[in-house]
Amino acid sequence: MDILNLCSRVPFPPKDGGTIGVWTLIENLEKIGDKITVFALNTNKHYIDVENVKDQLPENVELIAWAINTDLKWNLALKNLLFSKLPYNSERFFNAEYNHRLKELLKKKHFDIVQIESPNMGFYIPTIRKYSKAKIVARTANVENEIWQRVANAEKNTIKRIYYKILAKRMRQHEISVLQNSDAFLSVTPKDLSYFLEKLEGKKHIASAVIPTGVNAETIVNSIEEKELADFFFIGALDWIPNQEGVIWFLDNVWKEFAEKNPKKYFHIAGRYAPKSFVSLLEKYKNVVYHGEIPDANTFMRQYPVMIVPLLSGSGMRVKIIEAMANGALVISTSIGAEGIGAKNNENIFLADSGEEFIDIMTKLSENKELIHKIRTEALELVKSDFSNEQIAYKLHNFFENLINK
């Protein structure tokens, strides 16, 4: 099967939840025998020198990139607000030259499937329809409009709150439009799938499937080792607003009080692209260690025993929770942070939605080692049964085959 994957950023090397979600599917479909061409926008924010990584790619994966500047520009944002009905954060990803090169690629090569990373790459659907007979499959990593609606609800600045609400409304319309114009779509969680199917009801019958982000077998620990539950950690992309807000909320509402009572415990924070203002803010908190971008996430997660996921907004699934569980870590998360994973409170994860609940769980961790071992073991079993990349890739391959043969 020949697959063209249109990405809003270069997915290799995979270093965060977004690129991991895209790349693991590509990598494991290639292992099955599919041939994949990746045509990605190479944004200045996440720029990759593609020539330097091509020798690391699997044999049947071709990576093509087109440089584009997607920096937020206030004059263009204002123009968009006044004269467009499209969400500005997606509109930035349309590029005329990329569109032209896509046309040439489609004329030159045959593809069975064109998978687009929705909603940012949805602007290229008309070109795909015109120059290819391939089935178009939109992959939704989350419900983007829900994220912006939650950000709006939490925003105290009135002007920003109004703008975020407008953005959420436009994004909702754009997301549904992209799906309506596709032949099928993929969601990473059952919750996201149900949301989109409900919005599409009566508009168009469209094939769909839940294709979560998983982990490769070689990264999963064989068994749970006993650990002294001393330190806590957070890992995630720190240019993402929900991650920034969640970490600061945790520091203010949980860590301040907890660290005063537990001066020998530390909170380790790792992630890429943290703004200088965010890093400076971390310095005022006791026993907080900022690591910045780390060379290997798996090594980091095995070094510290307890993962904190303090998300107050967001959608989709947190890939890092699955990775942490695969590495044997204990996870304490808000309900929103754990959405889409199917984890159960007090069985394979701890859930906390208030500062008091976080503190209570963190304080009691050292008091019941048997329960902790059980939860970590059950979490590992959840990963092995539901989040094996090899099994997920076969499911997606079969979904593509059925779509082609319709």
What is the mean pLDDT, run by run of 10 residues, along the chain of 406 residues? 97 88 94 97 93 95 96 90 92 96 98 94 97 97 89 89 95 95 94 92 84 88 71 92 94 97 95 93 96 92 92 82 93 93 94 97 83 90 92 96 93
Residue 213 · residue 16 · CB < 8 Å: no
HEC per residue, the chain: CEEEEEECCCCCCCCCHHHHHHHHHHHHHHHHCCEEEEEEEEECCCCCCHHHCHHHCCCCEEEEEEEECCCCCHHHHHHHHHHCCCCHHHHCCCCHHHHHHHHHHHHHCCCCEEEEEECCCHHHHHHHHHHCCCEEEEEECCCHHHHHHHHHHHCCCHHHHHHHHHHHHHHHHHHHHHHHCCCEEEECCHHHHHHHHHHHCCCCCCEEEECCCCECHHHCCCCCCCCCCCCEEEECCCCCHHHHHHHHHHHHHHHHHHHHHCCCCCEEEECCCCCHHHHHHHCCCCCEEEEECCCCHHHHHHHCCEEEECCCCCCCCCHHHHHHHHCCCEEEECCCCCCCCCCCECCCEEECCCHHHHHHHHHHHHHCHHHHHHHHHHHHHHHHHHCEHHHHHHHHHHHHHHHHCC
Query: How far apart are the C-alpha atoms of 303 and 318, rounded to whole Å?
Result: 20
Residue 313 · residue 151 · CB < 8 Å: yes
Q: Where are the domains of the chain?
A: 2-214+388-404, 218-386
Residue 8 · residue 121 · CB < 8 Å: yes
Query: How far apart are the C-alpha atoms of 243 and 250, rounded to whole Å?
Result: 11
Fold entry, domain 2-214+388-404: Rossmann fold (3.40.50)
- Same fold flag, 2-214+388-404 and 218-386: yes
Fold entry, domain 218-386: Rossmann fold (3.40.50)
Beta bridge partners of 64: 39
Q: What is the pTM of this model?
A: 0.84
Instruction: Give the per-residue pLDDT at 241.
Output: 86
Instruction: Give the per-residue pLDDT at 31.
Output: 95
Query: How far apart are the C-alpha atoms of 122 and 99, rounded to whole Å?
Result: 12
Instruction: Give the per-residue pLDDT at 227.
Output: 67
Residue 232 · residue 306 · CB < 8 Å: yes
- Tell me phi and psi for residue 179, to 5 degrees: -65, -40
